[in-house]
Amino acid sequence: MFPSLKSSQIGGLHCLRTRLRFTFSGKGTKLYSQASTHKKATFESNTLVYNLSNYQSSFPQDKALNKDITTLKQLLQNRHEPQVFKVAVLYESAKVRRNSKIVEVLLADPLASNNQVWFERIRKRHGLARFFFGEYAKDLVDEDDLEYRIPSPILSGLYRNTFKREAPDVANDLIIEEYENAAQLEKAVDECTYVVYVTPQFNYVTTSLPSSIKDRLLLQVIDNTEYSPVSTESSPLSIEDGIQTHLIKINSNLAYNGIVQFIQRDVHAADEYIESMTKSNVYELFKFVDHFSRTDNLTSWYLAKIIQTISSKIKRANTVISEGSDVVKSEIENFGQMVNSELQYEFIPETTNYVQKKLSWWKLYYKNDNVEYDLKDFLNNQFMNKAIENYNFLRGKILSTDEVVENPLLELKNEVINRRVSSEVQPEVYSVLSKAFVYYQLPISVIAALSYQFFDFSGNACIALCSLGWILGFNQVSRDWINFMNKWMNQLFEEVRVTVGSKCIDNGLMKESNEQVIRIENENSIRQKILRDIERKLPAGINKL
């Protein structure tokens, strides 16, 4: 049986219901092992669960939304059976965790006998911990004080104070786990049914928390020693419909001090205890936890989130269909103008200037093998970089994806650098140098030497003849190299124009933009139909908030 209450308990304080207790195990949203007389919901074509599953199979790319749908389906399928909900209490920082007493206040049961034994262990713990319901035993507590099994009423669906509200048909237990690091919680947030965010001041959580945590954020608690609204056991819980993340202001330290005083001094501190609980507004927090420990209320919250998310996707799609197409076409036109401008006024003159100055014909003699590497380095740094970057951005925007997309300009750049420079330019270097040497420089030099040796030509005449051969060779190198590079560059510039006009714009961005509009229209139609089906198939007791 649950520990008996003190004989000196004060009238009007927490009322504990004496139902039979049962044991449980679980992580996140799980089933109790006890049998249920209700059949689970099935995947029939006319059920809410089927429509939710239909959305998941139709839009597997909506990963965050599909995780919420999975949780909602579990709630719906097991709504007639006891479940265990994991509540993550996330502190804004380590300092907030040290100053806040929200967990101690939630778990405390000052009216029960022998509660001070396990409460003392909780209040003196050194780090973050995990709490679940059960009979307290010292040897069952984790050695590192990371996990506690305690008979706290807030954790038990059978003993939780309902504050004179009708008891739920299904009693759900809670597991409360503390976190002080959003990155740490982000790894485990899928296991949590909802998140309570504790801050010392009001914060716009959208600016500080990861999206996966914001998605499960049910309550933000402002916990400080400043004024808090007054709440009593009989005051109604104020919950505004249509709100996904609720807000409660409390003073947990005030309530904590009252609880400690009552445990230590018993009825002699009754007035201080009642006053601290009332002025700290923790009754509002207790009622909130009780409200959302009920399956129907939690199901309604998840359902409202899902409906709102799907509706937002439909609205964004309608905006894209009605306005986005013209905007994208305008951006594509601007992209074409920008690329042509970069080609005409940057890439062509810079490439021409580089070849004329850095790869002039006479430098081939000492650069030789390095011509390939110098040209590759230049193209790697200067080959239409703005156009490549803008194409990636615009195509990613059209396709609504952050994934790496195909880029015809980048493919052309890689093709030129990795293959064509090596297979076309570098062999031409060897060719023009070899031809000049074989056709002019070597034979005329040999003739000059033979003339001096055998035909009594003067030294000056032979030197002049040899020089003529080398000059003719240089002239041949100059003419062939300039003609080749001009032809090679003009061909490259023309390929860039064709790639931009045909592959990037006509058969790329414009085609994909039109296909994207058609795809969005089809997806939007499916979403609208599924949303209508979801809203029509709400089980009794479940609403859209």
* Sequence spans of domains, the chain: 82-293, 360-507
The CATH classification number of 82-293 equals 3.40.50
504: closest CA among 391, 346, 400?
391
CA–CA distance, 390 with 397 (Å, rounded to integer)? 10
Q: What is the pLDDT, as a whole number, of residue 41?
A: 39
Instruction: Specify the DSSP element, H or E, that contains 304.
Output: helix 295-319
CA–CA distance, 87 with 205 (Å, rounded to integer)? 18
Residues 6+ apart with CB under 8 A from 307: 531, 534, 535, 544
For the chain, the first-to-last Cα distance in angstroms comes to: 38
CA–CA distance, 539 with 296 (Å, rounded to integer)? 9
Q: 3-class DSSP state for residue 187?
A: helix
Q: At residue 210, what are phi and psi to the nearest 5 degrees?
A: -60, 155
Q: What is the pLDDT, as a whole number, of residue 506?
A: 85
Q: What is the pLDDT, as a whole number, of residue 507?
A: 83
Contacts 24+ apart (CB under 8 A), 134-141: 134/23
Give ∠ CA 51-35-166 in degrees, rounded to 5: 75
The pLDDT tens digits of the residues spanning 515-532 come to 888 888 899 999 999 999
Low-confidence ranges of the chain (pLDDT < 70): 1-46, 137-145, 205-207, 324-325, 400-405, 436-448, 450-459, 461, 465, 468-469, 473, 537, 539-545
CA–CA distance, 297 with 187 (Å, rounded to integer)? 26
Q: What is the pLDDT, as a whole number, of residue 324?
A: 63
